């Protein structure tokens, strides 16, 4: 009886420990003292401030580049899209560092500090007169003195410090937030699901503050004040984040998924001349039965990485071979799963190209239109509030109206991830068509009032349809992409697949920059103006929007083919014991 109580006490103590997480001291994490919603909230705070800074800069940067730095509209648009594209592309760098070297906690702390220093540098560059060209009152941009190389160099340094900080920070925040919950505990598993559902809401909240309060301060008080507020907010967020150091749960990172993919590809290339065995069972597999992925006959050239060859087990004291010489069938199938995602990945890039126009040319359009309501002048960058509002309204309508009706009609909990992506692509096509029509109307007023007129006699609310359509499209495509890349990827590669999803945003911005440069060169004509003139009143932005609508329509047709192909590959097949070497 005396032995019973110590044993019971020991069992109870074990129930309070989280098996796959450690605390600040490297000991098994105590469930009662670490993790949970308190820790997750401290992490979410830094994400809100990151989005406040990044979007507060991005949505109104194009007007600063044009009105203060005296750059052409196409050049200004490309600087903004390159900045945003680099921010999302660097998520891969942050993810690799977090997985293999630093861990998520240190990655967040280091890159948050880098972003804060970047916003401080940006505040200084917009404050000091020496770091911007002299003011110009001429209606023609060609008569104004552009920013010199040193001034642009300081601006670029600040922007790309922010991009580096954003990339490293964004790659780890969601993952470190979910680390605070134990999937094996039912209560904490429910809390983690709630965390996922509200993560996009918090991102949108930060964006909403950026495009309203922060943009207003930039235009009416001063950009240096606005960027100073961003710096202060990030500094406070860092202190709050660091205050939870002893409360956080830390998880040891596994082998980088990128390394695993390279291992399979490298071994398959080395063994490319070998013949596949007729019996699947002869391919190498020693993982536990529950974690195995059945063999498929797609991308059969990768199967050669699992062929056992002489020397694969040599110079290795363990029972497992060197993964750079021989790979598991399950490892090969994981790589195949990633490859199956790529067609859908490629056909979602164009959406983010149309999205880029909402924070570049659409803001420039707004700056030329009537924006006054009862004596209050709406800053041009604040028009993106309709974009954010469309996201929030669409999410609410989908959750509260569409999902219950769909469940009653189809007995399914809402649209599939591929269906949501398709809806987002359709809405972007409609958004670009609406943008082209609105620009045609704006240009007709510009011709009637005079192209050099500072404020045209046309309401800025004419632009609401394009903001609302593309914003609703983002609500569908963002959640659809995130769901698709997480649920359809291997269990051990979900972090990497999230990074893969974020690269569609990055490449979308870069494609926008490339497309603007090509259109500028091709349509320039003798005077170098063309569709994307230095002053948009002299250009044909409506033709550019129409081109994007046509490209989006063609991309949508390709997406449908890819989606049908993917669904066909997901259909269950009867077990096959013998394979034919078709490679």
273-290 pLDDT, tens digit each: 888 888 777 887 787 776
Q: What is residue 575's predicted lDDT score, i.e. its pLDDT? A: 43
Q: What is residue 9's predicted lDDT score, i.e. its pLDDT? A: 44
59-102 pLDDT, tens digit each: 788 888 888 888 887 788 888 888 888 888 888 777 777 777 77
Q: What is residue 10's predicted lDDT score, i.e. its pLDDT? A: 44
Q: Which residues pair with 17 in a beta bridge?
A: 30
Find the farthest-apart pair of alpha carbons in the chain and give their distance in angstroms, rounded.
98
Q: What is residue 571's predicted lDDT score, i.e. its pLDDT? A: 52
Q: What is residue 316's predicted lDDT score, i.e. its pLDDT? A: 57
In angstroms, the Cα distances linking 271 to 429, 433, 579 are: 46, 51, 17
Q: What is the DSSP letter of 279?
A: B
Structural domains of the chain, with CATH: 24-253 (1.20.1250.20), 257-327 (no CATH), 340-568 (1.20.1250.20)
CA 281 from chain centre, in angstroms, equals 41
DSSP string, 157-169: HHHHHHHHHHHHH
DSSP string, 91-126: HHHHHHHIIIII-HHHHHHHHHHHHHHHHHHHHHHH
Tell whether pTM > 0.95.
no
Q: What is residue 121's predicted lDDT score, i.e. its pLDDT? A: 93
C-alpha–C-alpha distance, residues 179 and 67, integer Å? 45
Q: What is residue 441's predicted lDDT score, i.e. its pLDDT? A: 93
Q: Which residues pair with 335 in a beta bridge?
A: none
Q: What is residue 568's predicted lDDT score, i.e. its pLDDT? A: 66
**Which residues of the chain fall below pLDDT 50?**
1-5, 7-14, 572-577
Q: What is residue 527's predicted lDDT score, i.e. its pLDDT? A: 56
Q: What is residue 303's predicted lDDT score, i.e. its pLDDT? A: 87
310-351 pLDDT, tens digit each: 777 766 555 677 888 888 888 888 888 888 889 989 999 999
φ, ψ of residue 362 to 5 degrees: the values are -65, -35
C-alpha–C-alpha distance, residues 307 and 187, integer Å? 44
Q: What is residue 69's predicted lDDT score, i.e. its pLDDT? A: 87
């Amino acid at each position: 009886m005396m032995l019973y109580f110590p044993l019971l006490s020991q069992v109870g103590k074990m129930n309070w420990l989280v098996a796959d997480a450690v605390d600040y001291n490297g000991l098994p994490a105590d469930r009662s003292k670490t993790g949970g919603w308190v820790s997750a909230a401290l992490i979410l705070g830094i994400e809100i401030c990151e989005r406040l800074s990044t979007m507060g800069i991005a949505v109104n940067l194009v007007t600063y580049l044009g009105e203060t730095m005296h750059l052409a509209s196409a050049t200004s648009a490309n600087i903004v899209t390159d900045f945003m594209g680099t921010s999302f592309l660097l998520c891969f760098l942050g993810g690799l560092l977090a997985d293999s070297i630093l861990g998520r906690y240190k990655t967040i702390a280091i890159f948050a500090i880098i972003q804060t220093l970047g916003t401080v540098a940006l505040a200084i560059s917009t404050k000091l007169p020496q770091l911007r060209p002299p003011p110009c009152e001429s209606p023609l941009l060609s008569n104004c003195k552009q920013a010199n190389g040193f001034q642009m160099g300081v601006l670029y340094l600040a922007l790309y410090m922010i991009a580096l900080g954003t990339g490293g920070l964004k790659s780890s925040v969601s993952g470190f937030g979910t680390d605070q919950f134990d999937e094996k505990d039912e209560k904490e598993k429910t809390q983690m699901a709630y965390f996922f559902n509200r993560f996009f809401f918090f991102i949108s909240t930060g964006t909403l503050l950026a495009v309203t309060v922060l943009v207003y301060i930039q235009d009416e008080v001063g950009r240096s004040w606005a960027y100073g507020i961003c710096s202060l907010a990030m500094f406070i967020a860092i202190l709050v984040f660091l205050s939870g150091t002893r409360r956080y749960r830390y998880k040891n990172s596994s082998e980088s998924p990128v390394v695993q993919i390279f291992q399979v590809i490298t071994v398959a290339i080395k063994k490319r001349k070998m013949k596949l065995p007729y019996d699947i069972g002869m391919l190498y597999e020693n993982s536990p039965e529950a974690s195995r992925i059945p063999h498929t006959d797609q991308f059969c050239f990768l199967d050669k990485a699992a062929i056992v060859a002489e020397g694969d087990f040599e110079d290795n004291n363990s029972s497992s071979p060197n993964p750079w010489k021989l790979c598991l069938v399950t490892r090969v199938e994981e790589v195949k799963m990633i490859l199956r995602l790529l067609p859908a990945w490629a056909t979602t890039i164009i959406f983010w190209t149309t999205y880029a126009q909402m924070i570049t040319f659409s803001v420039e359009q707004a700056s030329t239109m009537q924006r006054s309501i009862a004596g209050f002048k709406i800053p041009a960058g604040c028009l993106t509030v309709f974009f954010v509002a469309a996201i929030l309204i669409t999410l609410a309508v989908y959750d509260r109206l569409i999902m219950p009706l769909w469940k009653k009609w189809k007995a399914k909990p809402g649209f599939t991830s591929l269906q949501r992506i398709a809806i987002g692509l359709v809405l972007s096509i409609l958004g670009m068509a609406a943008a082209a029509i609105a620009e045609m109307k704006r240009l007709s007023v510009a011709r009637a009032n005079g192209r050099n007129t500072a404020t045209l006699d046309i309401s800025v609310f004419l632009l609401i349809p394009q903001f609302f359509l593309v914003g609703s499209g983002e609500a569908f495509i963002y959640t659809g992409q995130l769901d698709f890349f997480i649920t359809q990827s291997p269990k051990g590669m979900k972090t990497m697949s999230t990074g893969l999803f974020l690269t569609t945003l990055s490449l979308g911005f870069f494609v926008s920059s490339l497309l603007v440069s090509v259109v500028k060169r091709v349509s320039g004509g003798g005077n170098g103006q063309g569709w994307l003139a230095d002053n948009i009143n002299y250009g044909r932005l409506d033709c550019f929007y129409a081109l994007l609508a046509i490209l989006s329509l063609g991309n949508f047709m390709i997406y449908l083919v890819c989606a049908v192909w993917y669904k066909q590959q997901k259909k269950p097949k009867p077990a096959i014991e013998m394979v034919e070497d078709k490679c």
